[in-house]
A and B are shown apart, each in its own frame.
Chain A
Amino acid sequence: MNELVAVIGTGYDADCAAQALRSHGFRVERIVQGPSAPFQLSTLEGYVGSFALRGFCDGSLTALSVGAVVVATGNERVPLTALKKLPQHARIVSTKQLASQLTKPASITERASRQRQHIALTIDLMTPASREATREVIDLAGQLRDKCKCEVSVLYRELQVDTDWLEKRVRDLRAAGVAFHRLQAAMPEPDAEGITIRHADGQLRADLLGVAQPVRPRRDHPALAEALGIRVGEDGYLQPFNVHLYHFGGTARKGVYLVGRCHLDTDDSGVRQDAELVASQLAVLLTVNGTQPEAVLAWVDRAKCIRCLTCIRTCPHSAVELADAEGVTAAHVLEAACFGCGMCIANCPVQAISMRGQAVPAWLQEAAP
């Protein structure tokens, strides 16, 4: 059993994943993905506990043996300049930029603080609210109120307050005088003296507007998913919604896990929880007991196989490969990867695959050709 785990990605999500894995006793290999990265991932072969992560390093093909793969590539923030309908104006800045200026002298926030300016913050001006943007705006509102003594308004179309922590923060902010308003469809109108923003309760005038940048899935997800034998959902995030897999960081390929914003709408604390969840699952999985085969498995009769590749293309779990044995190449089911779903059996054009294992229903044992 290989206890080396590959963590794909850079940034906070990947750091969390690596830290959580190390705390569970795993060794971690960090893999940077992207066109300029030193290691260009091409395929993931093998099965949980015994993967070979193949790719190009300095132009030559190399393989890394790992027990599991954790993807923590995060998401992307959309720059405000990419938001076509948003007026481009000096009074409109991203909340990220505002947050980064809080500690700097002679910054816009420092001036706002000096002049007791009114700062408005939007959570979801252009796109659906995300937990990340909600958290960012709530945090920033508190800091602007407490440290800068500014007048602060928070504008939202949907206020996703779904943790105790956030609920308390919002309550405290309201008590401290931060106004919360529901946004109207109209865009903010900046002019020389300020910005007018329409909301459900009327309109307000602010000196500055902080817009939380929308999040979007990374555009290299399809290529990454193809290399790893997993899928991308319709929304562009890794692993389509599935009740068995979605909340647990799992994918349809055993031993390939997802952490953080590459698959979930979450904030930093959510990423930490997710990383811990995945690491603890891997700790169970990457022990001998955890990789016990399922009670039903597909089994290929090598003598019947015509190497048509249909089963390999059908399997949603990357559990079938072509393998050489005794001088014959034939489809071979990787027992540790097989979910026993039998999808390949029904598609096999020569009836070369059947079910094996203790839990095969009796009628199917009789029906086997």
Chain B
Amino acid sequence: MKPYLVLGCDRSASRALADLCRTGYVLPDEVEYRTLPCSGSLDVLYILRAFEQGFERVLVLSCNDDACRSLDGSRRAAQRSARARTLLSEVGVNPRCVSFRQISPTMAADLCIWLDEFVQPLPAEAEPEKAE
């Protein structure tokens, strides 16, 4: 069982990841990558189910706001990630275990850094994070 789950949009994150892998990059062992046809299809349930299944952290990767082919996908993905954080914090899961980032297909280098950060331990909480 891998502890970390990445849900990435097929139109940006998956392409950036493919680029990255062409350079010889290998996903860290702890990370499972699942593709979404568009981040607008991100369902709050996908995130909740992931935690039920035993994942400890989820990273959602969507396109930039003006780069969603379906116009609202990135906005919806951001809002559904925020909703998942609120719901999870209600059941005692650290909301920082769900993160959301926007990416374009050409951002392989950034993705590399983000994935590296994603597998690091969560920094100690300075103060309770405000719900988005």
A and B found bound together: yes
A interface vs B, CB < 8 Å?
231, 240-245, 252, 296, 316-317, 339-343, 345-346, 355, 359-361, 363-364, 367
Provide 28 A-B residue pairs closer than 8 Å at the C-beta atoms, listed in order of the A residue.
A231-B71, A241-B66, A242-B67, A242-B71, A244-B67, A244-B69, A245-B69, A252-B69, A316-B40, A316-B71, A340-B37, A341-B69, A342-B37, A342-B38, A342-B41, A343-B38, A343-B40, A343-B72, A343-B73, A346-B40, A346-B41, A346-B76, A355-B37, A360-B37, A361-B34, A361-B35, A364-B37, A367-B46
A346 to B46, CA, bound (A): 9
Residue of A nearest to B67 (CB): A243
CB-CB < 8 A to B43: which residues of A? 345-346
Query: Interface of chain A, helix or strand or loop or mixed?
Result: loop
A341 to B41, CA, bound (A): 6
- A367/B35 in contact, CB under 8 A: no
Query: Interface of chain B, helix or strand or loop or mixed?
Result: mixed
Most buried by B among A231, A243, A342, A343: A343
B interface vs A, CB < 8 Å?
10, 34-38, 40-44, 46, 49, 66-73, 76, 80
A236 to B38, CA, bound (A): 27
The 7 closest A-B pairs by CB, nearest first: A342-B41, A341-B38, A341-B70, A343-B40, A346-B43, A244-B69, A316-B71
- B40/A341 in contact, CB under 8 A: yes
A23 to B12, CA, bound (A): 37
Residue of A nearest to B34 (CB): A363
- A361/B38 in contact, CB under 8 A: no
In whole Å, how far is B53's beta carbon from the nearest beta carbon of chain A? 10
CB-CB < 8 A to A345: which residues of B? 41, 43
A345 to B44, CA, bound (A): 11
In whole Å, how far is A351's beta carbon from the nearest beta carbon of chain B? 9
- A242/B34 in contact, CB under 8 A: no
Residue of A nearest to B37 (CB): A296
Residue of A nearest to B38 (CB): A341
A324 to B10, CA, bound (A): 33
A108 to B44, CA, bound (A): 69
A360 to B38, CA, bound (A): 11
A97 to B35, CA, bound (A): 58
A139 to B69, CA, bound (A): 38
Beyond A345-B43, A346-B44, is A340–B38 a contact (Cβ under 8 Å)?
yes
In whole Å, how far is A39's beta carbon from the nearest beta carbon of chain B? 28
Most buried by A among B38, B40, B68, B73: B40
